[in-house]
């Protein structure tokens, strides 16, 4: 499937009347699993990218090129529309424009640019701060300017609900909406009252991250114009646990035939698309 078709599918989700929960993915095989299981969208987060590529925590030490290359690997291996968390755009507004160019070329269908002050400054002592609205607007303008394919979705992301409050979140969301972003990505919504207050002021579709409790009701979210809602990135943590447990068992002398939770040969053939490669080998390598 060409990138245009994937992006059109992504936009169809935003234009629909239901909320979908994307599959959190981190490499080609996890993306294929999400696709095979019927997820409408794959989500590749900046935090998971840092874990996967560097084995590092989510401290913005990953580079744009490393992130884009992993996104490209995912897109090359699957047809699932891919949304990515492009963090702060890896610098100022000019860097944001470059980020859009690279990720569009990598084949992503949608991405978010956030207004968090990243990486953390000297002396911040772990406190999370937001950029000024003016600087956030500049980044959103640069993002839209960098887009070549009009089907690519650009979401303006803010963590204001958790950091500065609902009022500031509304002001930022309306400012980014006025600039021309395609969706508003809200992080840190804790209650239905918070989401209700913000949603009634916005006309753009909403993407939600870090929501919990009774907020995570599909019908409720759909009624509030939330079209994509993240549930976290448990698949990567589960993969880490599986690898750790398996290696530990092998190290402790457990016979390989007694190992638990190992993918079957049939599943491995499916996720590696073995049959496709067998067909190509017959076509291109036979005498």
Q: Is the pLDDT of residue 255 over 80?
A: yes
What CA–CA distances, in Å, run from 5 to 2, 15, 28, 108, 227? 6, 15, 19, 11, 19
Which of these ranges, 16-25, 26-35, 122-131, 216-225, has the smallest mean pLDDT? 122-131
CB burial class (10 A; 0-12, 13-18, 19+) of residue 107? buried
- Using CB atoms within 10 A of its CB, is residue 251 exposed (0-12), middle (13-18) or buried (19+)? exposed
| Token pair in block for residue 216 | 């995570």
DSSP alpha helix (H) spans, 203-273: 218-223, 234-251, 265-271
- When pLDDT is averaged across residues 54-65 and rounded to a whole number, the result is 97
Q: Assess whether pLDDT exceeds 70 at residue 171.
A: yes
When pLDDT is averaged across residues 5-24 and rounded to a whole number, the result is: 98
Strand order in the sheet with 226-229: 23-24, 42-44, 82-85, 110-114, 153-158, 183-187, 206-209, 226-229
Please state the rounded mean pLDDT for residues 146-167. Answer: 97
- In angstroms, the Cα distances linking 19 to 33, 172, 183, 211 are 21, 23, 13, 13
Task: Please check the confidence at residue 66 and state whether its pLDDT lies above 70.
Answer: yes
CATH second-level architecture of 3-233? Alpha-Beta Barrel (3.20)
CATH 3.20.20.60 segments of the chain: 3-233
For the chain, how many helices (H) and strands (E)?
A: 13, 8
pTM check: above 0.85: yes
Average pLDDT (36-41) is: 98
Q: Give yes or no for residue 116 having a pLDDT over 90.
A: yes
Give the residue, 270 or 2, on which the prediction is more confident: 270
Average pLDDT over residues 246-264: 97
Mean pLDDT of 212-217: 93
Predicted pLDDT at 211: 87
CB of 113 closer than 8 Å to CB of 9: no
Cα(136)–Cα(128) distance, integer angstroms: 15
Residue 184's closest CA among 101, 113, 84, 95?
A: 113
What does the pLDDT average to over 43-52? Answer: 97
What pLDDT does 124 receive? 86
Mean pLDDT of 159-165: 97
Q: How far apart are CA 271 and CA 34, in angstroms?
A: 10
Task: State the Cα–Cα distance between residues 108 and 82, nearest whole angstrom.
Answer: 5
Please say if the pLDDT value at position 1 is more than 80.
no
Of residues 15, 1, 21, 2, the one with CA closest to residue 153: 15
Mean residue pLDDT of the chain comes to: 97
Residue 15: per-residue pLDDT: 98
- Which pLDDT band, with edges at 50, 70 and 90, does 210 fall under? confident
What does the alpha-carbon distance between residue 96 and residue 145 come to, in Å, rounded to a whole number?
A: 10
Give the per-residue pLDDT at 237: 98
């Amino acid at each position: 499937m060409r990138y245009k078709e994937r992006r059109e599918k992504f936009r169809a989700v935003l234009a629909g009347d239901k909320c979908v929960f994307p599959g959190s993915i981190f490499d080609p095989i996890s993306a294929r699993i999400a696709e095979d299981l019927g997820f409408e969208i794959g989500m590749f987060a900046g935090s998971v990218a840092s874990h996967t590529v560097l084995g590092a925590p989510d401290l913005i030490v990953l580079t744009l090129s490393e992130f884009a290359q992993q996104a490209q690997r995912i897109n090359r291996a699957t047809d699932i529309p891919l949304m990515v968390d492009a963090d702060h755009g890896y610098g100022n507004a000019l860097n944001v424009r470059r980020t859009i160019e690279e990720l569009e070329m990598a084949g992503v269908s949608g991405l978010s640019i956030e207004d968090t002050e990243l990486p953390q400054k000297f002396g911040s002592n772990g406190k999370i701060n937001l950029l000024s609205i003016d600087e956030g607007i500049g980044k959103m303008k640069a993002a839209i300017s960098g887009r070549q394919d009009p089907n690519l979705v650009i979401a303006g992301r803010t963590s204001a609900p958790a950091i500065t409050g609902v009022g500031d979140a509304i002001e930022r969301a309306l400012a980014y909406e006025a600039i021309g972003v395609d969706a508003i990505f809200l992080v840190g919504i804790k209650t239905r009252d918070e989401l209700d207050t913000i949603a009634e002021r916005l006309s753009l579709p909403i993407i939600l991250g870090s929501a919990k409790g009774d907020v995570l009701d599909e019908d409720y979210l759909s009624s509030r114009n939330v079209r994509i809602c993240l549930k976290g990135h448990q698949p990567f943590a589960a993969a880490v646990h599986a690898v750790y447990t398996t290696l530990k068992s092998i190290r402790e002398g457990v016979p390989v035939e007694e190992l638990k939770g190992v993918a079957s040969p049939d599943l491995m053939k499916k996720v590696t698309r073995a049959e496709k490669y067998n067909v190509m080998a017959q076509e291109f390598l036979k005498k």
